[in-house]
Amino acid sequence: MIQISNLSFSYAPQSTLRFPDVEVKKGENILLLGESGSGKTTLLHLMGGLLRQYSGSVKVDETELSTLSESSLDKFRGQKIGFIFQKNHLISALSVEKNLVMAPYLAGLPINEERIEQVLASLGLSEKRKSKVTELSQGQAQRVAIARAVLNKPSIIFADEPTSALDDKNCNKVIDLLLNVASQNQSTLIVATHDQRLKDKISNQLILY
Amino acid sequence: MSLFSLVWNYLKARPLNTAINIVLLSLGIAVITILLLFNAQLEKKITESARGIDLVVGAKGSPLQLILCNIFHMDFPTGNIKLAEAEKISRNRLVKRAIPLALGDSYQTYRIVGTSREYADLYKVELSQGEWWNNVFDVTIGANAAELSGLKMDDKFASAHGLVSGGHSHDDHQYVVKGILKKSNTVLDNLILCNVESVWQLHEGGHEQMHHEFDSSFIPSRLVPSVASSDSTKEITSMLIQYRSPMGAIQLPRFVNSQSSLQAASPAFETARLFSILGVGVEILMAFAYVLIVISGLSIFIALYNSLKERRYDMAIMRSMGATRSKLFVSILLEGGTLTLLGSLIGLFMGHGVLVLLSMMMVETQKAGISGFVFYPQEWIILGGSLALGLICAILPAIQAYRVDISKILSGN
């Protein structure tokens, strides 16, 4: 599913981040651990095609990301990858439903009302379908962000620090939810975190130094 | 879901900002629209009113007043001229057509004009009801005058001296409505037409015998055939002249102005002068409207620029979900375009609406024939221009959206 070899990336000429070679299989769950500044988010962004100027190789679904044009990469990202961030980054001008609809619309996929209802129901958000996102609690907003990430049935879900700001109870809820939706969609789940509480939840771990 | 739906939701999410931008622009567009409609209709009206009239001969005074009074019926007469003197000029070989006008009275502010049938022929006006005036105190009235004064066929009325209501009433003589004209969008719509003799009898009193069929020395006047051409007692207000050849434009005004008591004024020259006088006011108002539009353009630019700061995460998220750079670029242009399109549509609507209201509320606007239900091709230019303004104002923010660094924003740096 994902193959990384000889990968390095520089934000500035004097500071180059080098990453270990990694191979992630379809449906596998990986915990990407490391301290702040170790390059977890950078690796996630490289694998997700959000950063392009790298050396080495990043293959996702047998496709070398650097060979894709920018617009092809945008399309590839929209259709194959779902992102979840520490902050929910929902579009506040839109309702819950419209936030979800953005996922297939921007990826150039057909909008499937049934699928939206199904995902919302599976996350306990059916009643919030028409609500404004500004009216949601933090937990509800996070579930909407998860719904948006999985709506297109992506092959890979990248979650960047999804639990860092949560207490133990909510931390467990969110990670269980992520594992559950990834399993339902047969998606590969890669969670980048420095949250040690997740060590017991995902056994496949890659530690960055 | 569409890009427009996304843009619309963003505009709805900032109602105050959106409303201010739209109101500012629509005010500017409304002022321009009002000026455009008013100017264009007035110009058309003035051009049509002066159609076929090359020269106006009247008493000495302001030439512009002579034109305003005798062609547009918007001012007071400069005085009277002797019929015999006008007669001499009417017989000049350079004159093709000469029409007498005898003014002085009105009914409910609608001017009564003593004239010949040639005056109505000049504007190719047709009857809607009844017949043309034939006898003394018969009148044929314009469409607006009939509608707004409430006069109907065979109604009798007494005229008042002057042009304003409340003037001395000539109760001893009553005019009779013999015909009503079709609406022609000319100055005749607001006039009450009769023969010159009616005006003379009203002011001189008595029932003077005008016909001299049995007098062998009687040479009828070309202007008022019922009186002798040599009659030195009769007066008219003015005479409208049509040249026989372009030579008339060179020789006739000079010839007339050399007569001590007469003045000749060219409608073409005086209306050009009138437009240049009106033009100053119009230009000031136009400048004010353009300032409003520029301010609204700046306001749209600032609103889009500031909203980009708030929406950088939205942009980055959208990119992470597959939105291309060009989609974000177009969405910002669309937002600017939507704001200005809405502003200009509302402005055009307001401009037309104000004129509709004015024409409903003010008789003077109705008399001037100014309507809010007229559309000009220039309004497409206003619409296109404001759309272009929106796109120009949005281009810098759109470029910023195009350059959004998703990774940097999403990683919180």
pLDDT band for B221, please (50, 70, 90 cuts): confident
Mean pLDDT calculated for residue range B209-219: 59
pLDDT band at B170 (very low <50, low <70, confident <90, very high): low
pLDDT band of B197, cuts 50, 70, 90 = very high
B333: confidence class by pLDDT, cuts 50, 70, 90: very high
Q: Does A75 touch chain B (CB under 8 A)?
A: yes
Is the model's pLDDT at A129 over the cut of 80?
yes
The residue length of chain B stands at 413
- Helix, strand or coil for residue A22? strand
Searching chain B, which residue's CA lies closest to the CA of residue A111?
B1
pLDDT value at position B228?
82
Residue B215's pLDDT is 61
Query: For chain B, what is the mean pLDDT?
Result: 88
Tokens standing for B354? 């104000």
Question: How far is the C-alpha of B315 from the C-alpha of B321, rounded, in Å?
Answer: 10
Give residue-wise pLDDT tens across range B222-261: 888 888 877 778 899 999 999 999 888 889 999 898 877 8
pLDDT exceeds 90 at position B54: yes
Residues of A in contact with B6 (CB under 8 A): 94, 102
pLDDT in tens, A142-199: 889 989 998 998 999 999 988 877 788 888 888 888 898 888 888 999 999 888 888 8
Q: Is the pLDDT of residue B167 over 80?
A: no
Predicted TM-score (pTM) of the model is 0.77
pLDDT band at A124 (very low <50, low <70, confident <90, very high): confident
Q: Is B323 exposed, middle or buried (0-12, 13-18, 19+ CB in 10 A)?
A: buried
Beta bridge pairs of residue B99? B240
CB A199 within 8 A of CB A192: no
Residues whose CB is less than 8 angstroms from the CB of residue A15 and which lie 6 or more positions away in sequence, other chains included = none
pLDDT band at B164 (very low <50, low <70, confident <90, very high): low
Contact at CB, A98 and B10, closer than 8 angstroms: no
Which 8-state DSSP code applies to residue B32?
H
DSSP helix/strand/coil, B140? strand
Q: When comparing pLDDT for A185 and B130, which is higher? A: B130
The pLDDT tens digits for B266-306 are 999 998 888 888 888 888 888 888 888 899 889 889 988 88
Q: How far, in Å, are B33, B176, B310 from residue B299 at the CA level?
A: 21, 62, 17
Please, which residues bridge with residue B244 across strands?
none
- pLDDT of the residue at B388: 92
Residues of A in contact with B320 (CB under 8 A): 48, 50, 77, 83
Contact criterion met (CB below 8 Å) for B232 and B215: no
pLDDT at B216: 63
Q: β-strand B110-115 against B95-107: which pairing, if any?
A: antiparallel
Confidence of residue B165 (pLDDT cuts 50, 70, 90): low
Residues in A closer than 8 angstroms to B322, CB to CB, are 74-75, 77-79, 106-108
Whether the per-residue pLDDT at B214 is higher than 60: the answer is no
Which carries the bigger pLDDT value, residue A203 or residue A99? A99
Query: What is the mean pLDDT of the segment spanning A109-129?
Result: 90
Q: Assess whether pLDDT exceeds 90 at residue B348.
A: yes
- In this structure, what is the dihedral angle of CA atoms B204, B88, B251, B57, given to the nearest 10 degrees? 10
Kindly report the nearest CA distance between residue A135 and chain B, in angstroms.
14
Which is more confidently placed, B217 or A72?
A72
Measure the CA–CA gap between A26 and B279, rounded to whole angstroms. 77
Phi, psi (5° rounding) for residue B320?
A: -65, -25
Cross-strand partners of B236? B81
- Residue A147: CA count within 13 A, CB half-sphere: 28
Report d(CA A190, CA A158) in Å as an integer: 5
- Mean pLDDT lowest among A77-86, A191-200, B110-119, B361-370: B361-370
pLDDT in the model for residue A114: 92
pLDDT exceeds 70 at position B8 = yes
- Picking from A91, A157, A150, the residue whose alpha carbon sits closest to that of residue A119 is A150
A98 close to B (CB below 8 A) = yes
- Considering only CB atoms, A77 lies closest to which of B12, B322, B412, namely B322
Q: Which chain B residues are within 8 Å of A79, Cβ to Cβ?
A: 322
Q: Which of B5, B313, B318 sits opposite A106 (nearest CB)?
A: B318
Beta bridge partners of B100: B239
Return the pLDDT at B283: 87
Residues of chain A contacting residue B406, judged by C-beta atoms under 8 Å apart? 50
Question: What share of chain B in percent tops pLDDT 90?
Answer: 55
Pick the more confident residue, B1 or B110: B110
- Helices marked H in chain A: 40-47, 70-80, 96-107, 113-122, 138-150, 168-184
Who has greater pLDDT, B196 or B206?
Answer: B196
The residues, any chain, with a CB within 8 Å of residue B212's CB and separated by 6 or more, are B218, B227, B228
Q: B223 CB contacts (<8 Å, ≥6 apart)?
A: B83, B86, B87, B90, B98, B99, B100, B116, B196, B236, B239
Q: Do B321 and A103 touch (CB under 8 A)?
A: yes
CB contact under 8 A, A106 and B12: no
- Cα–Cα distance between B306 and B224 in angstroms, integer? 76
* Nearest CB to A41; choose among B314, B319, B411: B411
Residue B285 near residue B31, CB atoms below 8 Å: yes
CB contact under 8 A, B320 and A50: yes
pLDDT tens sequence across B319-331: 999 999 999 999 9
Average pLDDT, integer, range B128-138: 93
For chain B, give me the number of helices (H) and strands (E)?
14, 13
Do the Cβ atoms of B157 and B151 come closer than 8 Å? yes
Interface with B, mutate which of A46, A84, A105, A132 (most B CBs under 10 A): A105
Asked if A101 and B319 come within 8 Å (Cβ–Cβ), the reply is: no
Instruction: State the Cα torsion B111-B116-B117-B118 to the nearest 10°.
Output: -110
- Least confident range from A73-82, A151-160, B207-216, B342-351: namely B207-216
What tokens appear for A110 in the block? 């057909």
The answer to whether the Cβ–Cβ distance between B411 and A93 falls below 8 Å is: no
Q: What is the mean pLDDT of residues B191-212?
A: 76
Do the Cβ atoms of B1 and A101 come within 8 Å?
A: yes
Which among A74, A87, A148 is the nearest to B324, CB-wise?
A: A74
Q: What percent of chain B is predicted at pLDDT more than 70?
A: 94
The bridge status of strand A156-160 relative to strand A188-193 is parallel
